[in-house]
Amino acid sequence: MKEMTRLRTLFLALLLGAVTTTTFAQIGVGVSLRIAPPALPVYVQPPCPTPGFLWTPGYWAYGPAGYYWVRGVWVAPPRPGLLWTPGYWGFAGGVYGWHDGYWGAHVGFYGGINYGFGYGGVGFGGGVWHGGVFRYNTAVVNVNTAVIHNTYVDRTVINNNFANNHAGFNGPGGVVARPTAQEHAAMNEPHFQPTANQIASRNLATQNARDGFGHANEVNSRQGNQQQRITQGVKSGQLTPGETRNLENRDSSINRQAQGDRAANGGTLTAQERQQINQRQNNVSRSIYNDKHNANTDRTAAARQGRTARGERRQARRVENRNRPRR
């Protein structure tokens, strides 16, 4: 079993390594994860550098050390008239898989994810092509109108249903959305691969994926390992509902801190922030071990609550599912 796990890990690492030197199309091939991507960070869009460039939003990518943020970038489309459909993470069959982004005549389905700046979950409201010239909707994109004059204002494209939803994936616990008829049609149109600038942006993020400070970004992967330990403790009866609730709440608090720190720093963590989070994770890890090895099992808890041991395990699972951190 250990050898099989090692081979699968090696295969994933080789696959992800290949992505950095080729195209985005390989991101989703065979990459199926058990840990959900974090919530999308809140950040300021840089101004459009020149007329004709389109915004391609940032997203979470995955490497051997865990999820890392690829910043959004203004790029020239492969040719006038094309629009960008962002990639997205989707949950199906118990795993999270990546769906590739592409250029096309119309915007297709991108999981209902609220990437912002015109990508509110359905379609694109950041501008339109008109006679080979792109006109920018300054209600949702950052354009200096003193420099770029082909602009307009349309606030009706702002979808308030998605305004406060920063979930980073499509599926239970994230955004629940299905393709519209128009999005289905766009998915069947001819597509163009990401541009060289988009690939370069991803490659740079991959090189800096060790948190931008030369350290492995183990925050998300370690939380996943601790979640597995909690799950095992619930199933074995070593963790009572009260212990499970405490551990899940502490893990969720760490998750919120990491997301907030990353959002404030463009998707990375400072060395001090990493140290603080690592210390908190160490404390939770010790608590998991102590709770699993103390005398307070689900059998003793059940006796106090007037339930059977089986009923206590069911209650612990309900607590775990309710309080599980949503990354």
Q: Which long-range contacts (CB under 8 A, 24 or more apart) does 60-63 make?
A: 60/89, 60/168, 61/27, 61/202, 61/205, 61/206, 61/209, 62/16, 62/31, 62/33, 62/37, 62/98, 63/16, 63/206, 63/209, 63/217
**297 in the same domain as 184:** no
Residue that finishes a domain, picked among 207, 239, 256: 207
**71 in the same domain as 130:** yes
Question: Model-level pTM?
Answer: 0.59
**129 in the same domain as 192:** yes
**177 in the same domain as 306:** no
Asked whether 60 and 89 are in contact (CB, 8 A), the reply is: yes
**160 in the same domain as 38:** yes
**94 in the same domain as 24:** yes
Range of the domain at 278: 219-323
Residue that finishes a domain, picked among 207, 237, 259: 207
- 142 occurs within a structural domain: yes
pLDDT along the chain (327 residues), means of 10: 40 35 34 79 89 95 80 94 96 90 96 93 94 94 93 84 69 91 93 93 75 48 69 77 81 79 74 81 83 73 65 64 49
**231 in the same domain as 198:** no
- 68 occurs within a structural domain: yes
- 213 occurs within a structural domain: no
Domain count, the chain: 2
Q: Which of 129, 136, 131, 132 is nearest to 150 (CA)?
A: 136
**237 in the same domain as 183:** no
**224 in the same domain as 199:** no
Write out pLDDT tens, residues 233-252: 777 778 877 788 888 888 87
**108 in the same domain as 72:** yes
Q: Beta strand pairing status for 95-99 and 32-33?
A: antiparallel
Q: Which of 71, 101, 95 is nearest to 206 (CA)?
A: 71
Per-residue model confidence (pLDDT) at position 10: 36
- 293 occurs within a structural domain: yes
**245 in the same domain as 188:** no
Residue that finishes a domain, picked among 207, 239, 263: 207
| Entry field: residues in the chain | 327
Burial 69-96 (b: 16+ CB within 10 A, else e): bbbbbbbebeeeebbbbbbbbbbeeeeb
Write out pLDDT tens, residues 68-127: 888 899 999 999 999 999 999 999 888 899 999 999 999 999 999 999 999 999 999 999
